[in-house]
Amino acid sequence: MCIRDSFVRVIRPVPLTSELFAPFGEVHESPSGLGRDYFDEALTSLRPEAHPSISFARNSPVSSAQLHVDRLEQHKYSSQTFVPINASRWLVVVAGDREGQPDSETVKVFIASETQGLTFAPGTWHLGLHVLDRVSTHAIFMWRDGTDADETFADVQPFSIDLS
């Protein structure tokens, strides 16, 4: 994912909010008090034969002041939920869909906090998980049927994310 070109668009991330993320899915805030919140309505599978899948991902933090991106992924038929387990800040990069490909004009870059999880709506193009401050673990929930339809990858007009 590293393309270095002085003419590549540079995007500076903004804090993740429910309002800004709404076109791409739903933000889940950790309860501020005791108790439990449910986010079932955000979970979606458009394939009846797909089964629920939960996994854990452990990632090292991004070590440079800029992250170069030239490829995004999509789960066309499934929502995908990320819940930080021991993360602090983490990166969320999304784009809309245009005729089955990522729409480079709609790329948004957010920084999520340790108290925020999220669910990408089916069909949302996004960057894989990147964490910022320390080695971190996230739980990931989606639906899978073991076919190529579980996920799609596509090249995008290269851009850089300014993390300085």
Whether 115 shows a pLDDT value over 50: the answer reads yes
Asked if 78 and 131 touch (Cβ cutoff 8 Å), the reply is: no
Q: What is the pLDDT of residues 43-95, one digit of tens each?
A: 999 999 999 999 999 999 999 999 999 999 999 999 999 999 999 999 999 99
DSSP state of 78: B
Phi, psi of 114 (to 5 degrees): -65, -15
Confidence class for position 1, pLDDT limits 50, 70, 90:
very low
Radius of gyration of the chain (CA): 15
Whether 34 shows a pLDDT value over 80: the answer reads yes
Six-digit token string for 72: 């995004």
CA–CA dist 61, 3 (Å, integer)? 19
Q: What is the value of pTM for the model shown?
A: 0.91
Whether 123 shows a pLDDT value over 80: the answer reads yes
- At residue 21, the 3 state secondary structure works out as helix
